[in-house]
Structure 1
Amino acid sequence: MTGLRQVAIVGVGQTDFGALYANKDAQRDAYALGAEALKLALDDAGLCKDEVDGLLTARIGYEHGADVLGIPHPRVINGLEGSGRMSGVAVQHAVALIQSGQADVVACVYGNNGRSVKMTYSGAYSEAPTQGYDAMYGMTSPGAYVAMMYQRYRHEYGVPEGALAPLAINNRRNAALNPVAVMREELTEEQYLASRYIAEPLRLYDYCLINDGGVALILTTLERARDLAKRPVRIAATAARGDLSNYYTSTDFFFSASQDVAKRVYGMSGYGPQDMDCVQIYDNFTPTLLFSLEGFDYAPRGEAWKWATADRIARTGQTPINTAGGHTSESYMQGWAHHVEAVRQIRGETGERQVADCNIAHYICASPIVTSHVLVGE
C-alpha cells in the first residue's frame, strides 16, 4: 500500500456475548448494543465521538444509527446489510475512505439482537427469483447450502464421518478461556458425534450460534495512531472478490475467488501463511474453515480435513485458529468479533488464550464475497 496513507485499527469494543445470551430480552435493541460497543471502542482508542468523521453501520440502519450513536454529521456515512461477509467489506471501505482522505477517523459499528427477536436465519434467506424452487427442497438457509457443498467435498476427497469434530472442539477449547464467550463447556468427540444433524452431514456443533451483541472498530491513519493510547494494528493488506450466483453455493468451495484474494493480500503485505501468528476465519459453519484453509494456501487442496489436526490449530499449535472460540462457541457476530480478537491478540490483551509472540494476524472470510486482511502490530 505504498503511496497511500497507511491505516490502522486503533480501537475495538464488544459487548458481553455470554451475559446477553443468558438473559434474553424481547425488548433488546440492536442500536443500543451497537452504541455500547462504540463507546467501548472509543474509550479503547482514547478518542471521542466528535473526532469521528466517517461512520459505517451494519445490521443497523445508518440514519437512525447516526442519531443513536451520537454522530449526526459525519463527512462520510453508509449502511451495510446484515450478512456476515459485510464485516470484511466494512473494514475495506473504511481503509479506502482513510487512504483517499475522505475521512480521517472511521467508526464501523455492528448491532445484532437476533436471539432476543427469535431470528432463525432461514425461511426467507434470499429474494432471488429461484428461491421458491430452492425452498421446495429445503434450501432455505445458508446452512443447507453449506451442507450440500460439504457433501460434495466429502465425495470428491474421500472425507470420513467426524472429520469436522476437531474444528468444533478447537473452537470450544478456546472459548473456555474467553470470559465473554457463550459456550464455554468442554466438548468431546463423543458428544460431537452423538449430536443431531441440522442439515446432514452438518451436526449441531457445526452451526454458528444465534445471539445478541454489538461490535465496533475504530480506524484512522497510522500516523495519527502512533499518538494514541494503544499499540496500533496496521492493515498491511486487504482484498476481496465476489463469487456470486442465485445461491449460497460455489462449485469449487470458493477456491478460485479465495486464491485470487490470497495472491493479492500476500503480495501486498509481504507475508504468507507461514508468517501468520494466528488466523481468524469466518466460520458460519465448520466446513467453511476447510474451504478457507485450502483457498488461502494453508493446506493442500482437498486435504484441509487432514491438515487441521487438534494440535496444529490449537492456541499453542503451529497455526492457531479462531482463538476466541469462533462463531460456534464465542458468538455469531458475523465476522465482526473475529476482527476484535485479531487486534487484541496482536496487542497481547487476551489473557489465558494469548498466542505467544503474536504480531501478525490473518482474517479470512470465504463466502459469496471473499474478503481477507493481514494485520500487523506496529
Structure 2
Amino acid sequence: MSDIMPVNQKSSVAVVGIGHTSYGRLPEHDACSLGLWALNNALDDCGLSHDDIDGLILNRITDYQRFATLCNINPAYTLTTPAHGRFSAVCVQTAVAVIQAGLASVVALVYGNNGRSAGVRYAGTSAPYDSEAGGLWFPYGMTSPSAYHALMMQRHMAKYGTNERQLGAIASTFRRHACVNPDAVMRKPYSVDEYLASPFICEPLRLLDHCLINDGGVAMIVTTAERAADMPGKPVFVRGHGQASSFSHSDFPPDDFWGDAMQRAGRHSYAMAGLGPADMDGLMIYDNFTPTVLFSLEGFGYCGRGESGVWVEEGHLAIGGRFPANTSGGHLSESYMQGWNLHIEAVRQLRGTAAGRQIEQARHIHYMAAAPIVSSIIYAGEPR
C-alpha cells in the first residue's frame, strides 16, 4: 500500500484552550455534565464563550443535541465519534480538517466519561472491547483488551527477549511523574520490585500494567493561527498529523504489533511537520497497557524493532531523560481519559506551564497511539 503524501503547509490550526475536570469517582455527574464542566474550563482558559463556538466534536458523549442545547449553541459543524480511545487523535485531526476547509473557525473538542461510577468493565462477553469481530475469540478467553495485549506481549517476549522488569520500568516511571501532578489519581511511588510483587491480571500483565478507569472530562478549543495570534494565551500548533489503520485480521493480535501502520502514520506526520523523532522533546504515548508503550516506541522510530525493552530500562522516558513521556502520569497513574489527558499535557508542556514536571525548553511533543487505528500528532510551540 502506498502512502498518501502530505502537502507541505504552514501550521494553520492552533490549540488555544484546554480544560479538564477532577478525575476519580464523581457519581453526581454523567458523561454530558463532565464534558460541560471541562468545556467551561477550556473556554475560561482562552477567554472565549459558548457563543464563539461554531464547531463541536464530541467523544464518548452520545447525545450531541442535549449537549449543544445545554451550551445554547447552534454550531455550523457537529460530530460525535465512537467511544474507543483511539478516537481522541481522530477528533483532533478532524478539527484541523474542518477549520482548514472553512467549515468552522472555533471548534470545541469535548470528552466526558463516567465509566467508574457507571461500573463500566472492559471485559466479558457482554462487553465487546472493540468490535463484534472480537466475539469470534471469546470462547478461547479473548474477552478483554487485557487478554489481547497480554498475548501480544507474550509474543514480543518470545521473539525479542523482552522481560517483565522492563514493563515495570515503564509503570514505575510514569507513577513517579504522577507524584508531582496534583490532578493524578495515583500518587504513591513504587519500585520495579514492588511492581513485580503486584498480582497478575492476565499473565504477563499485572495490576500495575493496567490503566485506571475513572470519571472525568477533557476539552480543547482549536482555531485558526490568525485568530490565535490575537488571544491572550500561548497557542500550541498542530504541526503534523497522520493516521493509518490495521483492520485486516485485527480481531486477533497482529504479528507486527501494529508496526507497519505506525510507520505509515509516522512518515505522514513527520513529513507534514518537517520534523523527525530526533526533533522531539517529549512524548505522549497512549498507555492503556504498558506493552503499548513498547510497541509505539518501535513503530514510530524511537528505537529499533525488538529493542524497546532495553531502551526503556535505560531511562529515556523519565523526566530529565532524552524523551520524557507521559509527564502527567498518563493513563497508568493520572487517569484513563482515553488519550485526552495526554493531549492537554502536551499543550501544557509547550506552554511551559507543567509546574513540577516541566520539560526544559520543550518545542515539539509527539502524541502517538498504537491500535487498529494508529494516530500520530506533532504539537509545536511555534508554527512552521
TM-score, normalized by the shorter chain, greater than 0.5: yes
Q: Indicate whether 1:134 and 2:137 are aligned.
A: yes
Q: Aligned pairs, how many?
A: 372
TM-aligned CA deviation for residue 229 of structure 1: 1.3
Alpha carbons 1:5, 1:98 under 8 Å: kept:
no
Alpha carbons 1:32, 1:68 under 8 Å: kept:
no
Q: Deviations over 1:54-101 (max 9, x none)?
A: 000010122222223332x10000101111001000000000000110
Residue pairs, 1:44-59, within 5 angstroms = 44-59=45-60
SS of structure 1 residue aligned to 2:315: helix
Q: Distance in 2 between matches of 1:153 and 1:97?
A: 39
Partner residue, 2:317: 313
Partner residue, 2:4: none
TM-aligned CA deviation for residue 268 of structure 1: 1.1
Decide whether aligned partners of structure 1 residues 193 and 214 sit closer, same or farther in structure 2, where only a CA change above 3 A counts: same
Structure 2 residue runs without a partner (length 5+): 1-6
Alpha carbons 1:311, 1:317 under 8 Å: kept:
yes
Aligned partner letter, 2:275? Y
The percent identity for this pair of structures is: 48
TM-aligned CA deviation for residue 232 of structure 1: 0.9
Q: Deviations over 1:241-279 (max 9, x none)?
A: 111145263220010000011111111111111111110
Decide whether aligned partners of structure 1 residues 314 and 116 sit closer, same or farther in structure 2, where only a CA change above 3 A counts: same
Structure 1 residue runs without a partner (length 5+): none
Alpha carbons 1:142, 1:248 under 8 Å: kept:
no
TM-aligned CA deviation for residue 46 of structure 1: 1.3
Q: Deviations over 1:282-302 (max 9, x none)?
A: 010000000000001001110
Aligned partner letter, 1:83? H
Partner residue, 1:174: 177
- The structure 2 residue matched to 1:165, chosen from 165, 168, 178, is 168
Bigger mean CA deviation after superposition, 155-164 or 53-62:
155-164
Decide whether aligned partners of structure 1 residues 139 and 44 sit closer, same or farther in structure 2, where only a CA change above 3 A counts: same
Decide whether aligned partners of structure 1 residues 160 and 6 sit closer, same or farther in structure 2, where only a CA change above 3 A counts: same
Q: Indicate whether 1:236 and 2:239 are aligned.
A: yes
Q: Distance in 2 between matches of 1:322 and 1:127?
A: 24
Partner residue, 1:109: 110
- The structure 2 residue matched to 1:222, chosen from 222, 225, 228, is 225
Bigger mean CA deviation after superposition, 100-109 or 137-146:
137-146
Q: Could you list the structure 1 runs, at least 4 aligned residues long, displaced by more than 4 angstroms after superposition.
A: 1-5, 126-130
Bigger mean CA deviation after superposition, 263-272 or 253-262:
263-272
Alpha carbons 2:123, 2:129 under 8 Å: kept:
no
SS of structure 1 residue aligned to 2:375: strand
Q: Distance in 2 between matches of 1:168 and 1:310?
A: 14
Q: Indicate whether 1:11 and 2:17 are aligned.
A: yes
TM-score (norm 1): 0.95
SS of structure 1 residue aligned to 2:367: strand
Alpha carbons 1:128, 1:246 under 8 Å: kept:
no
Q: Distance in 1 between matches of 2:284 and 2:71?
A: 28
TM-aligned CA deviation for residue 136 of structure 1: 1.5
Decide whether aligned partners of structure 1 residues 9 and 194 sit closer, same or farther in structure 2, where only a CA change above 3 A counts: same
Aligned partner letter, 1:50? D
Residue pairs, 1:361-376, within 5 angstroms = 361-376=365-380
Partner residue, 2:253: 249
Partner residue, 2:283: 279
Residue pairs, 1:201-216, within 5 angstroms = 201-216=204-219
Alpha carbons 2:166, 2:313 under 8 Å: kept:
no
TM-score (norm 2): 0.94
Alpha carbons 1:238, 1:374 under 8 Å: kept:
yes
TM-aligned CA deviation for residue 125 of structure 1: 1.5
Partner residue, 2:94: 93
Residue pairs, 1:54-73, within 5 angstroms = 54-61=55-62, 62-71=64-73, 73=74
Q: Distance in 2 between matches of 1:348 and 1:153?
A: 37
Q: Distance in 2 between matches of 1:349 and 1:317?
A: 19
Q: Distance in 2 between matches of 1:248 and 1:35?
A: 37
Aligned partner letter, 2:244? R
SS of structure 1 residue aligned to 2:113: strand
Q: Distance in 1 between matches of 2:231 and 2:132?
A: 50
TM-aligned CA deviation for residue 311 of structure 1: 2.6
Q: Distance in 1 between matches of 2:337 and 2:88?
A: 9
Partner residue, 2:3: none
